[in-house]
Structure 1
Amino acid sequence: MAIRHARAGDQVACVDRDAARASATAASLPGTGHADFVADVGDDASMEALRDAVLARWGGVDVLYNNAGIASGGCMAATTMDEWRRLLDINLLGVVRGCLAFLPGMLAQKGGHILNTASFAGLAGAPNMMTYGVSKAAVVALSEQLRAELIDEGVKVSVICPAFFQTNLLESWQGDPRMKKFGEKMMTHAVDTLDSVADAVFASAQRGEFLILPTRQEPMRWRLKRWLPGLYFRKLRAMAAGIRGKQA
């Protein structure tokens, strides 16, 4: 997304906990005026410091991607409270911290666009990804409410809900190792690529769409769940049974 915004002539702030990754991304971008910052979305003070640094450099932000997230998997009975706290603190409250940091400036300038990365897991209601799916469903709900709240304030909101494609998300894995292997397999064999997903997200963002489903099969699956929920649930159960059989 940073590359695509830079190609469009935007100045981009690249933010990561890893200073080297942020710096490498900023250095790779076409155009000029980009910058890199270090911040942790799980830390209030860190996000407040990021806000201050970004506003000191540019005075305002037009587009905000709340994109940081961590992965987990497993059934409810196998989860721990520590896992719940960590997933919600990063995946949900990380988005909250980003909004609290940069939304006031967007309201003051009467314009902006917030894009929150959730996951199709937040819509699917699938088993065996309890903490991850719930944290991403919460991001969808937050985005829906925020959209309604800001629609007359000049600030747009989008929520991005991809399924599997190759990223570094599994580096942060915690939970059932069998589900991690499943995730690795799904990423490896995904028909969608990093570039195809980024192109789809950027195009949808430029059109101002709210719900962005950038992987190929998910628009059909979302319609199936909405229009034929009984059939969708039967297919979901069949998929889950197939996964259990392969794990066994």
Structure 2
Amino acid sequence: MVSGALRVRLAIPGRGSSRSAGADAVVTGAGSGIGRGFALEIARRGGRVVCADIDDTCAKETATLIGARALAWHCDVSDADAVAELADGADDWFGGPTDLVVNNAGIGAGGTVIGDLPLDLWRKTIDVNLWGVIHGCHVFAPRMRAQRRGGIINVGSAASFAAAPRMAAYNVSKAAVLALSETLAAELAGTGVAVTVLCPTFVKTNIVNPDLVDETTARLAMTAMKWTGVSPESVARAALDANDHGRLHVVPQLDAKLIWQTKRLVPATYTRALGVIERLAR
């Protein structure tokens, strides 16, 4: 479980080991947003990147931005066989084992209360946001354990502990990613493989899909992204630096840290206040 006195420090380049420098990396959901930010930052650090995405056009756009040190790859992370093929294809292209995997692919879904939220939307959200990360860990963790080196970064969200109303499917999927990452980190302790989970609040991405989020929630999310959102590249840098230094949790924004501390100190008051604020915002 995450400590109530969670502190997140930015890594200082040049200190400690650097798994990300010159890494052969696989990034899922690399076609846009945080995934593209990871791919570009890894390339900036001298690495090669397999840019995996379900959207072939977007994956190719990211790979083109990087150049010869990137390969676009079609992958539906909700399909375990597709993720296994991704891992094999990456190893073949690198000419050796993958050093770093970023399990980033995800979708945003929300706007409806529990009971009204369609079960097919629950399943779609969990298939991508949770099973996609499970598949990535299931495929890559044994390989890295065997080679006794590597890094795994799972992209979660502050939603994993913020528990905002009308975001149940998304919250549940990201809370499970946090638990999965903590469990995997314990299992890989002492193996030379570092696990990091990234839990940002609003990042300036295109994750708000009007087909999966109602109009009011989409408007609120887009407004928050505009005024408080940070760049995908900044959270990618923070996560890569943390993984280089063997740190598990990355909560890169002040609002997320405040939410975590408040919920730990006064959980019932936090939950009631959150509900009131959400209703007033509508």
Relative to the length of structure 1, the TM-score reads 0.90
1:234 and 2:240 aligned:
no
- Structure 1 segments (4+ residues) deviating >6 Å: none
Q: Give me the whole-angstrom Cα distance separating, in 2, the residues matched to 1:46 and 1:36.
A: 14
Q: Give me the whole-angstrom Cα distance separating, in 1, the residues matched to 2:210 and 2:140.
A: 26
1:243 and 2:256 aligned:
no
Question: Which of 18, 37, 52 is the aligned partner of 2:73?
Answer: 37
| RMSD after superposition | 1.9
Question: Once the two structures are superposed, what CA deviation does each residue of 1:125-157 show, in whole Å capped at 9, x if it has no partner?
Answer: 322211110110000011111111111222111
Greater relative contact order, per chain length (Cα 8 Å cut-off, separation 6+): 2
Aligned to 2:33: none
1:211, distance to aligned residue in structure 2 (A): 0.7
The one-letter code sitting in structure 2 at the alignment partner of 1:4 is E
Q: Compared with structure 1, are the counterparts of its residues 199 and 152 closer, same or farther at alpha carbon in structure 2 (3 Å cutoff)?
A: closer
Q: Give me the whole-angstrom Cα distance separating, in 1, the residues matched to 2:43 and 2:159.
A: 29
Q: CA contact under 8 A between 2:197 and 2:249: conserved in structure 1? A: yes
Aligned to 1:102: 140
The one-letter code sitting in structure 2 at the alignment partner of 1:234 is T
Secondary structure in 2 aligned to 1:71? Answer: coil
Question: Once the two structures are superposed, what CA deviation does each residue of 1:20-58 show, in whole Å capped at 9, x if it has no partner?
Answer: 21122112127x432221111011222122122112122
With 51-60 and 167-176 compared, the bigger mean Cα shift is at 167-176
Question: Once the two structures are superposed, what CA deviation does each residue of 1:49-71 show, in whole Å capped at 9, x if it has no partner?
Answer: 21221121222111110000011
With 186-195 and 95-104 compared, the bigger mean Cα shift is at 186-195
Residue-pair matches, total: 243
What is the identity percentage for the equivalent residue pairs of Structure 1 and Structure 2? 36
Unaligned runs of 5+ residues in structure 1 are: none
Q: Give me the whole-angstrom Cα distance separating, in 1, the residues matched to 2:189 and 2:242.
A: 17
Q: Give me the whole-angstrom Cα distance separating, in 2, the residues matched to 1:150 and 1:172.
A: 39
Q: Compared with structure 1, are the counterparts of its residues 191 and 55 closer, same or farther at alpha carbon in structure 2 (3 Å cutoff)?
A: closer
- After the TM superposition, which residues 56-205 of structure 1 pair with which residues of structure 2 at under 5 Å, given as runs? 56-58=92-94, 59-73=96-110, 74-171=112-209, 173-205=211-243
1:219 and 2:257 aligned:
yes
Q: Give me the whole-angstrom Cα distance separating, in 2, the residues matched to 1:77 and 1:137.
A: 19
Unaligned runs of 5+ residues in structure 2 are: 1-37
Q: CA contact under 8 A between 2:43 and 2:69: conserved in structure 1? A: no
1:214, distance to aligned residue in structure 2 (A): 1.6
Q: Which has the higher helix share?
A: 1
Question: Which of 36, 61, 70 is the aligned partner of 1:24?
Answer: 61
The one-letter code sitting in structure 1 at the alignment partner of 2:254 is R
Q: Give me the whole-angstrom Cα distance separating, in 1, the residues matched to 2:186 and 2:233.
A: 31
1:75, distance to aligned residue in structure 2 (A): 1.4
1:229, distance to aligned residue in structure 2 (A): 2.6
Secondary structure in 1 aligned to 2:51? Answer: strand
